[in-house]
Structure 1
């Protein structure tokens, strides 16, 4: 005897996304009007954030809704509330964290991509509630960490581009630390 998976009820993808807000009608209106909205994790899904290079490399092997934030150079995946996630150089956003999510029909870079602004879907939600296969994404993230760039920020764990910051110490010569400009402590 064979069994078939239950059919998923398909909703309007915009309405499904808006359910991740305490005021879903308001969130749906914001998504329609502005093409993006601040939504909460921990209500219908959580979010896994990976470096842009890792997220783009995972496109052919990892299924599930994912959007790109060119400004932050990161890819965000909608993940199950029960996902167990721990991978260096990535972030698991849960428990009411607000994230800027594009409307489901925003599937291309904004016209002024040179400014590296504007989030858009790499794989938009389809309204069935399908989320990322976080185990497959973890395998890709571990491979990218192992085989990826040799330079990683010592503060945030994200890959290069990095700069060398020389730490001065009155007790000795100091050491060179690889850190992003944004992570580097302000010089006094």
Structure 2
């Protein structure tokens, strides 16, 4: 199930957003795949200077919006990500981020980013996502049947830019791929 390929290299280097030193990391996958946990582990390992832009926080908590085509959260994710990169933060964008609805925004972020960009898809089977979901508080509100309606296996972005990580994937892999090490300097005290 782990279809990883040779050592990932960054995707492009754009000309408009962030600095050449700021790293953009996108972590996508099905509900319950471990995206938020992975982002939290990345921040814990890295420390200050790493921003997390969570789809669920912006869509569900800030806007209280359903996940629909053309939703306001799509643009908001892009704006917040650009702002963090422009202020020197390495930035992790994490969420289901359905390729059909979010693909153009993510492609635009990567194309416009001056620094290195890494895109990951956590390839976790439905049974495992349900098992993991049962351990979260959200499981009281969202059933396995609802999750089945959202589940899209291998919802990869076009162009083959994503590095696929199987169920055994870790934040350590992403830290190694991106060469992020705790900084001597942080953007904000």
TM-score tier after normalising by the smaller chain length: under 0.3
Q: Higher helix share goes to which structure?
A: 2
TM-score, length-scaled by structure 1: 0.28
* Structure with greater contact order relative to length (CA < 8 Å, sep ≥ 6): 2
Which structure has greater strand proportion?
A: 1
Task: Determine which structure has more spread, i.e. the larger CA radius of gyration.
Answer: 1
Query: What TM-score do you get using the length of structure 2 for normalisation?
Result: 0.28
